[in-house]
Amino acid sequence: MNQASERIEYLRKVLEYHSKKYYVDDNPEITDYEYDMLFRELEELEEKYPELKTENSPTMRVGGKALDKFEKVKHNVSMGSLTDVFSFEELEAFYKKNSKMLYSVEPKIDGLSVSLVYEDGQFVLGATRGDGLVGENVTLNLKTIKSIPLTIDYKGRLEVRGEVYMPREAFEKINETRGEKERFANPRNAAAGSLRQLDSKITAQRMLDIFVFNVQYCDKEFTTHSDSLQFLREQGFKVLPYTFVSDEIDAIEKHIKYIGKMREDLSFDIDGAVVKADILRNRTELGEIGGRPKWAVAYKYPPEEKETKLLDIVIQVGRTGVLTPNAVLQPVKIAGSTVRRATLHNLNYIREKDIRVGDSVIVVKSGEIIPRVESVVLQKRPNDAVIFEMPKVCPSCNEPIFHEESEADHRCTNAECPAQLLRTLEHFVSKAAMNIEGMGPQIIELFYNNGIIKGFADIYRLEKEKIASLDRMGDKSAENLINSIENSKNAGLARLLYSLGIRQVGEVAATALAKKYKNIDAFFGLTREDLMQIDDIGDVSADYIIDFFSREKTAEIISELKEVGVSTVYEAEEQKGSILEGLTFVLTGKLPTMSRDEAGELIESYGGKTSSSVSKKTDYVLAGDDAGSKLTKAQSLGVKIIDEQQLKDMLGI
């Protein structure tokens, strides 16, 4: 036994050493075959002597038992978010407040922030950032990332912060194996989805990586951030590259430009550069406000754009019958992903930009936003470039297209159009609507093509055995889906109204309508005047609602949904308080721990009101990551902007 124990300990140390040489130092000393043989020997010994297997053995990197859910983890040290700046003028304003400080400049990795905790040299806990105070325990999944050391040569407590990402090459390989509708939008989404897999074996297949960029806590004291990074390198962590230290704004800006020029050639995605105090004493003195450090900012690079060729223009039919032209492009890499399609919005947009098939075009992609064709390189236009014309009939059902001169959109008005029905079903099950988990676009299409769903009520008639018999499904997937479908029956009237796809009835309007009329039966026979008494309903929206509920088909749909047990009444949540009474909130961006729906419901449960647009009457804008034009408008109007934690502070929760 002693001999086996010694051999196992030796193999673990050797494998960890060679993992670091390969995945961290990029300087392998043995062949893959030699590594695999050592790994297999360790596996065989641990199988023979299971009592000698430990949680931090290299064999644990392949993934373990699937979890039912992730446990919540309260961070010992808060994981704040950064204030963004979008120009050197804004950066200089930040710098002038503390111009005598020494700053560290480093790339801002576009991934998922995590904390790693070590006790006496052993990796014991890994958690997502969450809202900065509470995250999720993803230790098993993080152990599958081979650049994370499972053991370090430091006795004491160490907590570090890093950014998990999916390398661009891995992202491309994974997307090649997925169907067109199953492709990940970008490496960040792919990394986030992979790290939050309940089955760590799936995470292990996703080739994730990490850069560590901060010491959150350590028994050892450091004078500067730079010193702490050097300590992490010595401990075997893969530390953020291309760091630079200076107290001169010109040098700082020059390094930011240098990092920006490298973006295209990096093996990973970045969306900016971080400028932060290097002397740790300065950080303590400056502190933070609203969970954001006053000693650091993130300079965000402008959206990436590339030139490519427009090969064709194809039409996509949406759930409301709108025909959207999409550009088929010669594949081009932008912002870490290969772009093959881009939106062209409508015929007016194509005419204004004078976009023709065969043109060389400039394509822009910003974050998660769908790529768009921004402009044409006219000097490269070929003589045979083709002017695009909208089709006269729907490409899905072959029925005539309707177009009003006063509208930009062309529409298919055939209620039986297959493309519309698919999009409508996809909308019905989506997260903001009935929220049926596990029933994405590819599953909807699978069920539709197999003839087992044609309408909303059919979803609630699905049987586990029938689902399990289909390709890409199985008993467990079928059981989970049936449970999710059953749970959605009690989604409530507001979600149901939104899920029906009534034109110009979004989440906010649907909630207002549900609160006013309480029961879906009340909508049959409403007048324009009735509806326009509601703040969030205008005259055009009122006409669409009246038209929808005057159709015979609508009455059939509602009747069928009632028959299968879907709730069609509004049940108000218990009022938790009135602290927000009289205040109007607009929500924008991605919040750390809850959806905008959940945040809106929380606000309303404390007496507040939510609105879909920013105006002078808006009291607060609740902003998360990737907030867009609403945030900009709020800033121009001087409306107070808060984050999720500040909302919770207001509510005392």
The domain boundary, picked from 240, 268, 300, lies at 300
The amino acid that residue 159 corresponds to is: E
Q: Which tokens belong to 165?
A: 């990402």
Residues tagged active-site: 108
CA 583 to chain centre: 29
pLDDT top residue among 1 and 175: 175
Q: Across the chain, what does the average pLDDT equal?
A: 87
Of 169-178, 277-286, 379-388, 496-505, the poorest mean pLDDT is in 169-178
CATH of the domain at 519: 1.10.150.20
CATH of the domain at 36: 1.10.287.610
> 3-class SS at 611?
strand
| pLDDT of residue 549 exceeding 60 | yes
Q: What is the pLDDT of residues 182-215, one digit of tens each?
A: 677 778 888 888 888 888 888 888 899 999 999 9
How does strand 72-74 pair with strand 304-317? unpaired
Same domain, 316 and 269: no
The domain boundary, picked from 247, 276, 300, lies at 300
Q: What percent of the chain has pLDDT over 70?
A: 94
Closest among 165, 199, 161, 198 to 184, alpha carbons compared: 165
pLDDT of residue 474: 79
Q: What is the pLDDT of residues 590-644, one digit of tens each?
A: 787 777 777 888 898 888 888 878 888 899 999 887 777 788 888 888 899 998 8
How does strand 157-165 pair with strand 72-74? unpaired
pLDDT of residue 145: 93
| pLDDT of residue 16 exceeding 90 | no
Q: What is the mean pLDDT of residues 177-185?
A: 66
CATH of the domain at 350: 2.40.50.140
pLDDT top residue among 579 and 278: 278
Closest among 618, 650, 648 to 633, alpha carbons compared: 618
Return d(Cα 593, Cα 250) in angstroms, integer. Answer: 38
> 3-class SS at 370?
coil
Same domain, 133 and 215: yes
Q: Which tokens belong to 132?
A: 């900065």
Return d(Cα 26, Cα 8) in angstroms, integer. Answer: 25
Which single residue is written with the structure tokens 């070929």?
382
Q: What is the pLDDT of residues 41-54, one digit of tens each?
A: 887 787 777 787 77
| pLDDT of residue 325 exceeding 90 | yes
pLDDT top residue among 649 and 595: 649
Same domain, 148 and 252: yes
pLDDT of residue 216: 95
Return d(Cα 428, Cα 442) in angstroms, integer. Answer: 14
CATH of the domain at 646: 3.40.50.10190
pLDDT of residue 22: 63
Look at the chain and count its residues.
653
- 10 Å Cβ neighbour count for 202? 15
| pLDDT of residue 469 exceeding 70 | yes
Check: CB of residue 225 under 8 Å from CB of residue 277: yes
pLDDT of residue 54: 77
Same domain, 311 and 296: no
CA 292 to chain centre: 21
Same domain, 151 and 289: yes
Flag whether 422 is in a domain.
yes
Q: Which tokens belong to 24?
A: 């961290």
pLDDT of residue 561: 96
Same domain, 598 and 552: no
| pLDDT of residue 335 exceeding 80 | no
Same domain, 294 and 316: no
The amino acid that residue 591 corresponds to is: L
Same domain, 539 and 595: no
CATH of the domain at 169: 3.30.470.30
Number of domains in the chain: 5
pLDDT band, very low/low/confident/very high, at 63 (cuts 50, 70, 90):
low
For 239, which DSSP code? B
Flag whether 234 is in a domain.
yes
Closest among 252, 293, 366 to 83, alpha carbons compared: 293
pLDDT of residue 30: 75
The domain boundary, picked from 300, 318, 339, lies at 300
pLDDT of residue 26: 59
Check: CB of residue 134 under 8 Å from CB of residue 140: no
Q: How many CA atoms lie within 13 A of 276 on its CB side?
A: 26
Check: CB of residue 492 under 8 Å from CB of residue 570: yes
Flag whether 65 is in a domain.
no
| pLDDT of residue 468 exceeding 60 | yes
Same domain, 519 and 552: yes
Return d(Cα 27, Cα 21) in angstroms, integer. Answer: 5
Same domain, 506 and 606: no
Return d(Cα 313, Cα 373) in angstroms, integer. Answer: 11
Q: Which residues lie below 8 Å from residue 2, measured CB to CB, with a gap of 6+? A: none
| pLDDT of residue 543 exceeding 60 | yes
Query: What is the four-CA torsion angle of 604, 606, 609, 610, rounded to 10 degrees?
Result: -50
Check: CB of residue 353 under 8 Å from CB of residue 429: no
Same domain, 237 and 345: no
pLDDT band, very low/low/confident/very high, at 273 (cuts 50, 70, 90):
very high
Q: What is the pLDDT of residues 368-411, one digit of tens each?
A: 457 889 999 999 999 999 999 999 999 999 999 998 877 788 98
Check: CB of residue 501 under 8 Å from CB of residue 428: yes
Flag whether 325 is in a domain.
yes
Closest among 534, 442, 467 to 497, alpha carbons compared: 534
Flag whether 614 is in a domain.
yes
Burial of residue 480 (CB within 10 Å: 0-12, 13-18, 19+) is middle
Flag whether 397 is in a domain.
no
Flag whether 193 is in a domain.
yes
Burial of residue 433 (CB within 10 Å: 0-12, 13-18, 19+) is buried
Question: What does 301-335 look like in DSSP terms, one character per residue?
Answer: PPPEEEEEEEEEEEEEE-TTSBEEEEEEEEEEEET
For 206, phi then psi, to 5°, come to -90, 0
Flag whether 410 is in a domain.
no
Check: CB of residue 632 under 8 Å from CB of residue 611: no
Range among 71-75, 460-464, 576-580 rated most confident: 460-464
pLDDT of residue 232: 96
Same domain, 528 and 597: no
pLDDT band, very low/low/confident/very high, at 158 (cuts 50, 70, 90):
very high
Which single residue is written with the structure tokens 């090969």?
311
Return d(Cα 89, Cα 82) in angstroms, integer. Answer: 17
Q: Which tokens belong to 202?
A: 């799936």
pLDDT of residue 11: 84
Closest among 353, 348, 352, 341 to 316, alpha carbons compared: 341
Exposure string over 555-569, b if 16+ CB within 10 A, otherwise e: eeebebbeeeebbbe
Return d(Cα 596, Cα 432) in angstroms, integer. Answer: 9
| pLDDT of residue 181 exceeding 60 | no
Strand order in the sheet with 609-611: 609-611, 584-588, 620-623, 640-642
- Its domain, for residue 16, covers 2-53
